[in-house]
Amino acid sequence: MSRFACPIALTGLGVISSAGIGLDAALTAVQSGTSCLKPVPAELTNSRQQHLWGPADQFKAADFIAPLKARKLDRASQMAVAATGLALADAGLDKGQYRAGQIGIALGCGFGGIVNSAELLGGYFKQGVPGLSPMLFPNTVANAAASNTSIEYGLQGPNITFIQRFCSAESAILAACRFLEEGRADIMLAGGVDELNPLMIRAFSANGQLQRAAAGFGEGAGILVLERGDHAAQRTVRVRAELVSIETIGYLLPGLAEQGLERLTRNTADCRVGMLSGVAPRGLELEQHLRHLRLQQPGLLLGRSLAMGGTVAALLTAQLGPGEQGLQLAASPEGPFYSLVLQGGPAE
């Protein structure tokens, strides 16, 4: 039973990850169980213990964006622009073929803007006011990735950015579905983008997160093209999957955890494939609710990030047979939690 007032069709996917460019690279790594993580340089961690990270080394902005333009974008924006281009192409949508006011973007963006923020402040701390670079400031905001993407592709519909722990991208996907449901847009780009840099690793090392939630942190972008079902049908595009339902709870309330879990998993009985986005939750007694599923954890191979949900949704979609349902469970250590149920589209 769909929780949406209309069918939500997934018609395009764009992925950039530590495995490389495109969905196939990430899918190959996940299906073969190949880790794309590599050691964090020891000088970043001040630790004898080896830590792993998943930078998207194969991503070169110049492959997607004109150099003069790319220089004005932070890395998260560059990856969002590139992955959106891949997703639009996958959905058969060329720039200019859609109505600008009827296509929007909803992104999760964990640490987007942090690098520019640190660089701007670094100049100030070292040199005072003369050390400030005005060019850096516009991309200190977390919405820079979605906004730069909207500028690149002329997306004038709803534009929204979320940060919500490891569920940032799932938050964006939920909003995108609602905007389609309401008719605020015909098409929504949705997903997540996150970037890695040495300063973040030093910060994670300082506050102990390298041993906890930030262990094996990665970067990349996963963008979905979502459309109302009637819109997708009208333009006779291949529907890769349908979003069947999205459930979310903020955290498990003491004494009411069971009710929370029931809400979270109430549409998952028909799921035959499962993937975890984010971090395996502590003390979450999911086994009895999801006993029919073994949750794959692509983040352990590609690197986890706060906004990896778009990439996980793309990977899950690629594994669904026609009519087959799959679960994307997104979790942060202490909440929030999301469950997305996708159903594979018809055979080509």
Partner 1 sequence: MTSPVRIAITGLGVFCAAGKDSAAYRASLLNGVSAIGPLELFDTTGFPSRIAAQIKDFQPEELFSPQERRHLSRTDQIALLAAQEAVAMSGLTQAYDPYEVGICIGGGVGGMLHAEQWLQAELAGQPASPGLLRTLLPDCSTTALARAFGFGGYQGSITTACSSSATAIGWSADLIRSGRQQAMLCGGADALARLTFAGFNALKVLDPQPCAPFSAGRQGLSLGEGAAFFVLEEEQAALARGARILGYLLGYALLGEAHHMTAPEPSGMMAAAVMQAALAAAGVTTDQVGWINAHGTGTPLNDAVESQAVKQVFGQRALQVPLVSTKPITGHCLGAAGAIEALATLLCLNQGMIPQTLHFRGPDPECDLEYCHGGSRASSSRIALSNSFAFGGNITSLVLEAAPPGGEVRP
CB 278 within 8 A of CB 311: no
Which tokens sit at 196? 């890695």
Residues 45 to 64 in contact with partner 1, rule: CB under 8 A: none
Structure token digits, residue 217:
């942190």
- Residues of this chain, 248-277, that bind partner 1 according to CB under 8 A: 248-253, 256, 259-260, 263
Nearest alpha-carbon partner for 147 in 220, 71, 79, 81: 81
**Across 18-92, where does the E strand assignment appear?**
20-21, 38-39, 52-54
Q: Which 154-183 residues touch partner 1, going by CB under 8 A?
A: 154-165, 171, 175, 178, 181-183
Q: Residue 238 burial by CB count (10 A; 0-12/13-18/19+): exposed, middle or buried?
A: middle
Using rule CB under 8 A, residue 334 touches partner 1: yes
Q: Rounded to whole angstroms, how far apart are CA atoms 171 and 190?
A: 10
Q: Nearer Cβ to partner 1, position 256 or 347?
A: 256
Q: How far is CA 121 from the centre of its chain?
A: 28
Round to whole Å and give the CA distance between 326 and 187.
23
The residue (of 250 and 346) whose beta carbon lies closer to partner 1 is: 250
Considering the complex, state which of residue 91 and residue 180 has its C-beta at the smaller distance from partner 1.
180
Q: Which stretch binds partner 1 (CB under 8 A): 33-41, 79-87, 322-330, 332-340?
A: 332-340
CB of 328 to partner 1, least distance (A): 17
Pattern of binders to partner 1 over 210-249, x per CB under 8 A? Answer: --------------------------------------xx
CB of 304 to partner 1, least distance (A): 15
Residue window 82-121: x/- pattern of binding to partner 1, with contact defined by CB under 8 A: ------------------xx--xx---xxx-----xx-xx
Inter-residue contact 157 to 103 (CB < 8 Å): yes
Among 6, 52, 132, 215, binds partner 1 (CB under 8 A): 132
C-alpha dist (Å) from residue 143 to 77, 105, 194, 278, 289: 9, 11, 12, 21, 36
Closer of 135 and 233 to partner 1 (Cβ): 135
Distance (Å, whole) CA 160 – CA 163:
10
141 lies in the site for partner 1, by CB under 8 A: yes
Name which of 62 and 256 has its Cβ closer to partner 1.
256
Structure tokens given for 83: 């992955």
Nearer to partner 1 (CB atom), residue 227 or residue 247: 247
Strand ranges (E), 136-179: 159-162
Among 33, 67, 128, 283, binds partner 1 (CB under 8 A): 128
